[in-house]
Amino acid sequence: SQTIHQWPATLVQPVGSPLSLECTVEGTSNPNLYWYRQAAGRGLQLLFYSVGIGQISSEVPQNLSASRPQDRQFILSSKKLLLSDSGFYLCAWSRGLQAKNIQYFGAGTRLSVL
Amino acid sequence: QQPVQSPQAVILREGEDAVINCSSSKALYSVHWYRQKHGEAPVFLMILLKGGEQKGHEKISASFNEKKQQSSLYLTASQLSYSGTYFCGTDTGTASKLTFGTGTRLQVTL
* pLDDT per residue as tens digits for the range B66-91: 889 999 999 999 999 999 999 999 99
- Judging contacts by C-beta atoms under 8 Å, the chain B residues touching residue A59 are 97
Q: In what order do the strands lie in the sheet with A64-70?
A: A3-7, A19-26, A73-78, A64-70
Residues B109 and B13 sit within 8 Å (Cβ to Cβ): yes
CA distances from A18 to A12, A74, B88 (A): 11, 17, 33
3-state DSSP assignment of residue B37? coil
The better pLDDT of the pair A25, A96 is held by A25
Which regions in chain B score pLDDT beneath 50?
A: none
| Stretch 7-66 of chain B: residues touching chain A, C-beta under 8 Å | 30, 32, 40-44, 47, 49
Chain B residues with CB under 8 Å of A107 CB are 40-41
Lowest-confidence region among A61-70, A91-100, B45-54, B91-100: B45-54
Closest CA in chain A for residue B91: A101
Contact yes or no for A19/A77 (Cβ under 8 A): yes
Chain B CB contacts of A96 under 8 Å are 96
